[in-house]
Amino acid sequence: MVGEERLVHDLHGACERGEIVAHYQPQFDLATGRIVAAEALARWNHPELGLIAPGVFIPIAEDQALIHTLGRHMIEQVLAAVTSWNERGIALEVSVNVSANQLTTLAFFDLLDRDLGRVGLPANAITIEITESYPILDTPSIAIRLDELRQRGLGISIDDYGIGYSSLQQLERIPATELKIDRSLVQDGSVQSLALMTAIVELAHWRGLRVVAEGIETDEQLALVRELGCERAQGFLLAMPMPLAELESLLTA
């Protein structure tokens, strides 16, 4: 078996075999320079092919209806991490990516609700990031469920804002707590992108949302997003995504 066919085959059971692991990319508070949160990013530790990026296997997982198992597996890892940090007095928030497909099953919300109740964590330590799924949020039942999660204290982040389906209307509809400016805007450097970012930050703040700038690769980009008033920044300049153990040694160093 070669190529995609092999990946499709091997992805079945990958979670159960412990091959899908969460790596964590630190997010920095721009006022203090400290790490205040981390985004969990799925990695497939393939026994023969090595580490495979989510851009490759998430679309396959969506296609093969494996995204529910995978998403659940990621949430379990994240909750375990936050629980253990909590016990050790490490105050760190965590974000986890959730795809449109996951949101369409009400089982997702029930499980998340149950998990949160079971571990008894402060829900505000956890944020779910929603991407390219904005049209789905027009479904009233989903908007209501998201709102319930938010009422429980969970953070809701609008990921990759500024591209694709992003619109001002979406900002009105989604019961969000955070907005992440897409890295293509941050990195673009054009006058138009600067104007757009300025408007996005202003609007987000007016709506009471925290703003995270992603894809910071240069000192200039860092200075810019700080000047724009973003609260948090994330990017290769600041820290790469890393395994849990590495993140923990970085935090306790």
Residues that bind ligand C2E in the complex, under the rule CB under 6 A: 25, 41-42, 53-55, 58, 71, 74, 97-99, 129, 131, 159-160, 183, 214-217, 234-236, 241
Which of the choices Mg ion, ligand C2E, none does residue 68 contact, using the CB cut-off of 5 to 8 A by kind? none
Report the phi/psi class of residue 52: left, alpha or beta, with left for phi > 0 and alpha for psi in -120 to 50. beta
Of 59 and 151, which CB lies nearer to ligand C2E in the complex structure? 59
Minimum distance from CB of 89 to ligand C2E (Å)? Answer: 27
Minimum distance from CB of 121 to ligand C2E (Å)? Answer: 19
Which of the choices Mg ion, ligand C2E, none does residue 42 contact, using the CB cut-off of 5 to 8 A by kind? ligand C2E
Of 10 and 234, which CB lies nearer to Mg ion in the complex structure? 234
Of 97 and 221, which CB lies nearer to Mg ion in the complex structure? 97
Which of the choices ligand C2E, Mg ion, none does residue 241 contact, using the CB cut-off of 5 to 8 A by kind? ligand C2E
Minimum distance from CB of 78 to Mg ion (Å)? Answer: 13
Would you say 202 and 6 are in contact if contact means Cβ atoms under 8 Å apart? no
Element (H, E) at 81: helix 67-87
SS3 track for 91-120? CCEEEEEECHHHHHCHHHHHHHHHHHHHHC
Minimum distance from CB of 241 to Mg ion (Å)? Answer: 11
Residue ranges binding Mg ion (CB under 5 A): 97, 129, 159-160
Of 14 and 41, which CB lies nearer to ligand C2E in the complex structure? 41
CA neighbor of 204 nearest in space, from 164, 248, 157: 157
- One-letter amino acid of 69: T
Token pair 């008033």: residue: 229
CA neighbor of 34 nearest in space, from 233, 213, 243: 233
Checking DSSP bridges between strand 35-46 and strand 50-52, what pairing results, if any? antiparallel
Of 55 and 120, which CB lies nearer to ligand C2E in the complex structure? 55
Minimum distance from CB of 74 to Mg ion (Å)? Answer: 11
Cα within 13 Å of Cα(48), Cβ side: 5
Minimum distance from CB of 91 to ligand C2E (Å)? Answer: 23
Which of the choices ligand C2E, Mg ion, none does residue 54 contact, using the CB cut-off of 5 to 8 A by kind? ligand C2E
Q: How far apart are CA 16 and CA 153, in angstroms?
A: 30
Of 53 and 107, which CB lies nearer to ligand C2E in the complex structure? 53
Q: How far apart are CA 250 and CA 35, in angstroms?
A: 10
